[in-house]
Amino acid sequence: QIVATGICRSDDHVVTGGLVTAFPVILGHEAAGVVESVGQGVTSIQPGDKVIPLFVPQCGECSSCLSTKGNLCSKNDIGFGTGLMPDGTTRFTCKGKAIHHFIGTSTFTEYTVVHESAVAKIDSAAPLEKVCLVGCGFSTGYGAAVQTAKVEPGSTCAIFGLGGVGLSVVMGCKAAGASRIIAVDINSDKFAKAKELGATDCVNPKDFKKPVHEVLIEMTGCGVDYSFEVIGCTETMTAACQYNYGVSVIVGVPPAAQQITFDPMLLFTGRTWKGSVFGGWKSKDSVPKLVSDYMKKKFVLDPLITHTLPFTKINEGFDLLRTGK
Protein backbone atom coordinates (compact mmCIF):
# COMPACT_ATOMS: atom_id res chain seq x y z
CA GLN A 1 0.00 0.00 0.00
CA ILE A 2 1.42 3.37 -1.04
CA VAL A 3 1.14 5.89 1.79
CA ALA A 4 3.00 8.83 0.19
CA THR A 5 4.55 9.48 -3.20
CA GLY A 6 6.59 12.38 -4.51
CA ILE A 7 6.22 13.80 -8.00
CA CYS A 8 9.51 13.72 -9.92
CA ARG A 9 10.37 15.41 -13.20
CA SER A 10 11.14 11.95 -14.64
CA ASP A 11 7.42 11.09 -14.34
CA ASP A 12 6.66 14.23 -16.34
CA HIS A 13 9.30 13.31 -18.94
CA VAL A 14 7.15 10.25 -19.75
CA VAL A 15 4.08 12.47 -20.22
CA THR A 16 5.97 14.82 -22.58
CA GLY A 17 7.72 12.02 -24.48
CA GLY A 18 11.21 12.80 -23.17
CA LEU A 19 11.46 9.40 -21.46
CA VAL A 20 10.16 6.47 -23.47
CA THR A 21 8.23 3.63 -21.83
CA ALA A 22 5.31 1.39 -22.74
CA PHE A 23 1.75 2.78 -22.53
CA PRO A 24 -0.78 2.70 -20.93
CA VAL A 25 1.26 3.01 -17.73
CA ILE A 26 0.92 3.83 -14.03
CA LEU A 27 3.70 6.32 -13.32
CA GLY A 28 5.39 7.25 -10.02
CA HIS A 29 8.63 5.94 -8.53
CA GLU A 30 9.43 7.99 -5.39
CA ALA A 31 7.36 6.60 -2.55
CA ALA A 32 6.99 4.87 0.79
CA GLY A 33 4.36 2.47 2.02
CA VAL A 34 3.40 -0.58 4.03
CA VAL A 35 3.59 -4.18 2.81
CA GLU A 36 0.14 -5.72 2.46
CA SER A 37 1.14 -9.24 1.43
CA VAL A 38 4.10 -11.17 0.00
CA GLY A 39 4.39 -13.78 -2.71
CA GLN A 40 5.78 -17.28 -2.48
CA GLY A 41 9.51 -17.43 -1.72
CA VAL A 42 9.83 -13.85 -0.47
CA THR A 43 12.00 -13.87 2.67
CA SER A 44 13.42 -10.36 3.25
CA ILE A 45 10.07 -8.58 3.58
CA GLN A 46 6.89 -9.44 5.47
CA PRO A 47 3.39 -7.96 5.82
CA GLY A 48 3.34 -4.85 8.00
CA ASP A 49 6.90 -3.77 7.08
CA LYS A 50 7.39 -0.12 6.22
CA VAL A 51 9.19 0.00 2.88
CA ILE A 52 10.48 2.16 0.03
CA PRO A 53 10.14 0.81 -3.53
CA LEU A 54 13.40 0.91 -5.53
CA PHE A 55 13.42 1.98 -9.17
CA VAL A 56 17.02 0.73 -9.26
CA PRO A 57 16.71 -2.81 -7.88
CA GLN A 58 19.52 -4.78 -6.24
CA CYS A 59 19.41 -8.47 -7.16
CA GLY A 60 22.80 -9.16 -5.56
CA GLU A 61 23.83 -11.49 -8.38
CA CYS A 62 24.57 -9.46 -11.57
CA SER A 63 27.96 -7.92 -12.40
CA SER A 64 26.93 -4.41 -11.25
CA CYS A 65 25.56 -5.72 -7.94
CA LEU A 66 28.70 -7.79 -7.35
CA SER A 67 31.06 -4.91 -8.23
CA THR A 68 32.05 -2.29 -5.66
CA LYS A 69 32.03 0.26 -8.50
CA GLY A 70 28.49 -0.12 -9.78
CA ASN A 71 24.88 0.14 -8.66
CA LEU A 72 22.75 -0.21 -11.83
CA CYS A 73 21.43 -3.74 -11.33
CA SER A 74 20.79 -5.59 -14.59
CA LYS A 75 17.20 -6.21 -13.45
CA ASN A 76 16.40 -2.49 -13.87
CA ASP A 77 13.83 -1.32 -16.44
CA ILE A 78 15.19 2.20 -16.92
CA GLY A 79 16.86 1.85 -20.29
CA PHE A 80 14.46 -0.75 -21.66
CA GLY A 81 11.02 0.62 -20.80
CA THR A 82 9.32 -2.78 -21.05
CA GLY A 83 6.86 -1.77 -18.32
CA LEU A 84 6.74 -5.34 -17.04
CA MET A 85 7.74 -7.30 -13.93
CA PRO A 86 11.00 -9.29 -14.18
CA ASP A 87 9.00 -12.39 -15.15
CA GLY A 88 7.61 -10.57 -18.20
CA THR A 89 4.09 -10.03 -16.82
CA THR A 90 2.12 -7.03 -15.64
CA ARG A 91 0.09 -7.10 -12.41
CA PHE A 92 -2.13 -4.14 -13.31
CA THR A 93 -5.34 -4.31 -15.30
CA CYS A 94 -8.14 -1.85 -15.98
CA LYS A 95 -11.48 -3.07 -17.38
CA GLY A 96 -9.77 -6.30 -18.36
CA LYS A 97 -6.90 -4.64 -20.25
CA ALA A 98 -3.24 -4.76 -19.24
CA ILE A 99 -1.60 -1.63 -17.79
CA HIS A 100 2.19 -1.30 -17.71
CA HIS A 101 4.44 -0.80 -14.69
CA PHE A 102 6.87 2.14 -14.55
CA ILE A 103 10.55 1.33 -13.85
CA GLY A 104 9.57 -1.54 -11.59
CA THR A 105 7.70 0.62 -9.08
CA SER A 106 4.47 2.41 -10.21
CA THR A 107 3.61 4.46 -7.13
CA PHE A 108 0.76 6.68 -8.39
CA THR A 109 -1.71 4.10 -7.13
CA GLU A 110 -3.12 2.97 -3.80
CA TYR A 111 -1.55 -0.46 -4.21
CA THR A 112 1.39 -1.62 -6.30
CA VAL A 113 3.33 -4.85 -6.84
CA VAL A 114 7.13 -4.83 -6.82
CA HIS A 115 9.79 -7.51 -7.05
CA GLU A 116 11.59 -8.45 -3.82
CA SER A 117 14.83 -7.03 -5.23
CA ALA A 118 13.08 -3.68 -5.78
CA VAL A 119 11.95 -2.85 -2.24
CA ALA A 120 13.80 -1.93 0.96
CA LYS A 121 12.56 -2.38 4.51
CA ILE A 122 13.06 0.78 6.57
CA ASP A 123 12.80 1.96 10.19
CA SER A 124 9.19 1.46 11.33
CA ALA A 125 9.27 4.83 13.12
CA ALA A 126 10.14 6.79 9.94
CA PRO A 127 7.54 9.33 8.73
CA LEU A 128 6.57 7.94 5.32
CA GLU A 129 5.39 11.30 3.98
CA LYS A 130 8.97 12.58 4.36
CA VAL A 131 11.22 9.57 3.72
CA CYS A 132 9.44 8.82 0.44
CA LEU A 133 11.97 11.34 -0.96
CA VAL A 134 14.75 8.85 -0.19
CA GLY A 135 13.15 6.72 -2.92
CA CYS A 136 14.51 9.08 -5.60
CA GLY A 137 15.03 12.83 -5.35
CA PHE A 138 17.08 13.19 -2.19
CA SER A 139 19.21 10.07 -2.65
CA THR A 140 19.86 10.83 -6.33
CA GLY A 141 21.17 14.35 -5.66
CA TYR A 142 22.94 13.80 -2.35
CA GLY A 143 24.63 10.64 -3.62
CA ALA A 144 25.78 12.32 -6.84
CA ALA A 145 27.91 14.61 -4.65
CA VAL A 146 29.12 12.31 -1.87
CA GLN A 147 29.13 8.98 -3.70
CA THR A 148 29.63 9.52 -7.45
CA ALA A 149 31.73 12.71 -7.52
CA LYS A 150 33.24 12.14 -4.06
CA VAL A 151 33.42 15.90 -3.50
CA GLU A 152 36.39 16.81 -1.28
CA PRO A 153 36.63 19.36 1.55
CA GLY A 154 37.61 22.82 0.29
CA SER A 155 36.55 22.19 -3.31
CA THR A 156 34.37 24.38 -5.54
CA CYS A 157 31.13 23.03 -6.99
CA ALA A 158 28.48 24.22 -9.45
CA ILE A 159 24.96 22.80 -9.58
CA PHE A 160 22.80 23.42 -12.66
CA GLY A 161 19.12 23.16 -11.77
CA LEU A 162 17.65 23.70 -8.32
CA GLY A 163 14.66 21.40 -8.18
CA GLY A 164 14.44 18.78 -5.44
CA VAL A 165 17.36 16.80 -6.87
CA GLY A 166 19.56 19.85 -7.44
CA LEU A 167 18.94 21.09 -3.89
CA SER A 168 19.90 17.62 -2.65
CA VAL A 169 23.19 17.95 -4.57
CA VAL A 170 23.74 21.27 -2.75
CA MET A 171 23.21 19.44 0.56
CA GLY A 172 25.65 16.71 -0.49
CA CYS A 173 28.33 19.23 -1.48
CA LYS A 174 27.92 20.99 1.84
CA ALA A 175 28.06 17.72 3.78
CA ALA A 176 31.26 16.85 1.90
CA GLY A 177 32.85 20.13 3.01
CA ALA A 178 32.93 22.06 -0.28
CA SER A 179 34.08 25.65 0.34
CA ARG A 180 32.21 27.20 -2.56
CA ILE A 181 28.85 25.95 -3.85
CA ILE A 182 27.51 27.86 -6.85
CA ALA A 183 23.81 27.24 -7.54
CA VAL A 184 22.60 27.97 -11.08
CA ASP A 185 18.96 28.27 -12.19
CA ILE A 186 16.90 30.47 -14.52
CA ASN A 187 14.27 30.75 -11.75
CA SER A 188 15.62 33.13 -9.07
CA ASP A 189 12.78 32.10 -6.72
CA LYS A 190 14.85 28.97 -6.03
CA PHE A 191 17.83 30.88 -4.61
CA ALA A 192 16.62 31.48 -1.03
CA LYS A 193 16.18 27.75 -0.42
CA ALA A 194 19.49 26.92 -2.12
CA LYS A 195 21.27 29.31 0.26
CA GLU A 196 19.41 27.88 3.24
CA LEU A 197 20.72 24.42 2.28
CA GLY A 198 24.34 25.49 1.75
CA ALA A 199 24.82 27.38 -1.54
CA THR A 200 27.40 30.17 -1.22
CA ASP A 201 26.60 31.85 -4.57
CA CYS A 202 23.52 31.87 -6.81
CA VAL A 203 23.66 32.63 -10.52
CA ASN A 204 20.79 33.24 -12.94
CA PRO A 205 22.06 32.80 -16.54
CA LYS A 206 19.37 35.24 -17.70
CA ASP A 207 21.22 38.05 -15.85
CA PHE A 208 24.22 37.77 -18.18
CA LYS A 209 24.87 38.39 -21.85
CA LYS A 210 27.53 35.66 -22.03
CA PRO A 211 27.27 31.87 -21.64
CA VAL A 212 26.97 30.81 -18.00
CA HIS A 213 30.12 28.66 -18.10
CA GLU A 214 32.13 31.80 -18.91
CA VAL A 215 30.55 33.50 -15.90
CA LEU A 216 31.58 30.58 -13.65
CA ILE A 217 35.15 30.60 -14.97
CA GLU A 218 35.37 34.32 -14.19
CA MET A 219 33.95 33.74 -10.69
CA THR A 220 36.39 30.93 -9.89
CA GLY A 221 39.46 31.83 -11.94
CA CYS A 222 39.78 28.46 -13.67
CA GLY A 223 36.42 26.72 -13.48
CA VAL A 224 34.92 24.58 -10.74
CA ASP A 225 36.29 21.29 -9.39
CA TYR A 226 32.90 19.59 -9.65
CA SER A 227 29.83 20.41 -11.73
CA PHE A 228 26.45 18.71 -11.61
CA GLU A 229 23.92 18.78 -14.45
CA VAL A 230 20.54 18.26 -12.81
CA ILE A 231 18.19 19.41 -15.57
CA GLY A 232 18.51 16.87 -18.35
CA CYS A 233 19.81 19.60 -20.68
CA THR A 234 22.97 19.10 -22.68
CA GLU A 235 24.74 22.44 -23.16
CA THR A 236 26.64 23.46 -20.04
CA MET A 237 28.04 20.14 -18.82
CA THR A 238 31.69 20.05 -19.63
CA ALA A 239 32.60 23.66 -20.15
CA ALA A 240 32.08 24.80 -16.54
CA CYS A 241 34.70 22.42 -15.17
CA GLN A 242 38.36 23.00 -14.46
CA TYR A 243 40.06 22.06 -17.74
CA ASN A 244 42.49 19.51 -16.31
CA TYR A 245 41.05 17.83 -13.23
CA GLY A 246 37.41 18.98 -13.22
CA VAL A 247 34.69 16.36 -12.77
CA SER A 248 31.27 16.82 -14.37
CA VAL A 249 28.40 14.56 -13.30
CA ILE A 250 25.18 14.06 -15.30
CA VAL A 251 22.38 13.62 -12.76
CA GLY A 252 19.27 14.68 -14.69
CA VAL A 253 17.64 12.14 -17.01
CA PRO A 254 18.76 13.10 -20.54
CA PRO A 255 15.81 13.60 -22.93
CA ALA A 256 15.32 10.85 -25.52
CA ALA A 257 16.71 11.39 -29.02
CA GLN A 258 19.03 14.23 -27.97
CA GLN A 259 22.67 13.83 -28.88
CA ILE A 260 25.66 15.60 -27.38
CA THR A 261 28.41 16.98 -29.61
CA PHE A 262 31.59 18.16 -27.95
CA ASP A 263 35.23 18.91 -28.65
CA PRO A 264 37.30 15.83 -27.61
CA MET A 265 39.93 18.25 -26.25
CA LEU A 266 37.54 18.81 -23.33
CA LEU A 267 38.29 15.26 -22.16
CA PHE A 268 41.82 14.88 -23.55
CA THR A 269 43.03 17.61 -21.20
CA GLY A 270 42.05 15.49 -18.20
CA ARG A 271 38.47 16.31 -17.30
CA THR A 272 36.25 13.49 -16.10
CA TRP A 273 32.68 13.21 -17.34
CA LYS A 274 30.43 10.72 -15.64
CA GLY A 275 26.84 9.75 -15.03
CA SER A 276 25.11 8.94 -11.76
CA VAL A 277 21.99 6.79 -11.44
CA PHE A 278 20.21 6.97 -8.06
CA GLY A 279 23.25 8.74 -6.61
CA GLY A 280 25.46 5.69 -7.06
CA TRP A 281 23.84 3.97 -4.06
CA LYS A 282 23.32 0.22 -3.98
CA SER A 283 19.63 0.57 -3.32
CA LYS A 284 18.59 -2.29 -1.04
CA ASP A 285 21.69 -1.82 1.13
CA SER A 286 21.74 1.97 1.22
CA VAL A 287 18.10 3.12 1.46
CA PRO A 288 17.56 1.76 5.00
CA LYS A 289 20.83 3.43 6.10
CA LEU A 290 19.83 6.76 4.54
CA VAL A 291 16.48 6.59 6.36
CA SER A 292 18.36 5.87 9.62
CA ASP A 293 20.62 8.87 8.95
CA TYR A 294 17.52 11.02 8.46
CA MET A 295 16.11 9.76 11.77
CA LYS A 296 19.44 10.71 13.40
CA LYS A 297 19.05 14.22 11.89
CA LYS A 298 22.17 13.89 9.72
CA PHE A 299 20.27 15.67 6.93
CA VAL A 300 16.91 17.41 6.47
CA LEU A 301 14.09 16.63 4.05
CA ASP A 302 11.46 19.23 5.02
CA PRO A 303 12.88 22.02 2.78
CA LEU A 304 12.43 19.73 -0.24
CA ILE A 305 8.68 19.43 0.39
CA THR A 306 6.86 22.44 -1.08
CA HIS A 307 3.27 21.17 -1.06
CA THR A 308 1.34 18.25 0.41
CA LEU A 309 -1.75 17.34 -1.57
CA PRO A 310 -4.37 14.61 -1.38
CA PHE A 311 -3.96 11.97 -4.06
CA THR A 312 -7.00 13.22 -6.00
CA LYS A 313 -5.11 16.47 -6.70
CA ILE A 314 -2.11 14.81 -8.35
CA ASN A 315 -2.67 16.74 -11.60
CA GLU A 316 -2.45 19.99 -9.62
CA GLY A 317 0.88 18.68 -8.31
CA PHE A 318 2.11 18.27 -11.89
CA ASP A 319 0.95 21.82 -12.69
CA LEU A 320 3.01 23.10 -9.75
CA LEU A 321 6.03 21.13 -10.98
CA ARG A 322 5.73 22.51 -14.51
CA THR A 323 5.43 26.11 -13.33
CA GLY A 324 8.55 25.80 -11.17
CA LYS A 325 6.68 26.06 -7.88
- Which listed residue (8, 59, 157, 241) is catalytic? 8
- Which listed residue (13, 100, 115, 213) is catalytic? 13
Q: Is 195 within 8 Å of 181 (Cβ atoms)?
A: no
Q: Is 172 within 8 Å of 142 (Cβ atoms)?
A: yes
Q: Is 28 within 8 Å of 108 (Cβ atoms)?
A: yes
Helices and strands, number each (H, E), in the chain: 10, 12
Contacts of 61 by beta carbon, 8 Å cutoff, 6+ apart = none
Residue 198's nearest CA partner among 216, 214, 212, 178 is 178
Amino acid, res. 66? L
65 is catalytic: no
- Which listed residue (59, 65, 73, 136) is catalytic? 136
**Helix (H) or strand (E) run with residue 53 in it:** strand 50-53
Q: Is 150 within 8 Å of 143 (Cβ atoms)?
A: no
Q: How far apart are CA 290 and CA 26, in angstroms?
A: 27
Radius of gyration, alpha carbons of the chain: 20
248 is catalytic: no
136 is catalytic: yes
- Phi and psi torsions of 186, nearest 5°: -85, -5
Contacts of 43 by beta carbon, 8 Å cutoff, 6+ apart = 116
62 is catalytic: no
**Helix (H) or strand (E) run with residue 131 in it:** helix 128-131
Q: Could you tell me where the DSSP H helices lie in the chain?
A: 9-16, 63-66, 128-131, 137-143, 164-175, 191-196, 212-220, 265-268, 283-295, 314-322
Q: How far apart are CA 221 and CA 224, in angstroms?
A: 9
Q: Is 104 within 8 Å of 27 (Cβ atoms)?
A: no
29 is catalytic: yes
Residues serving a catalytic function are 8, 10, 13, 29, 136
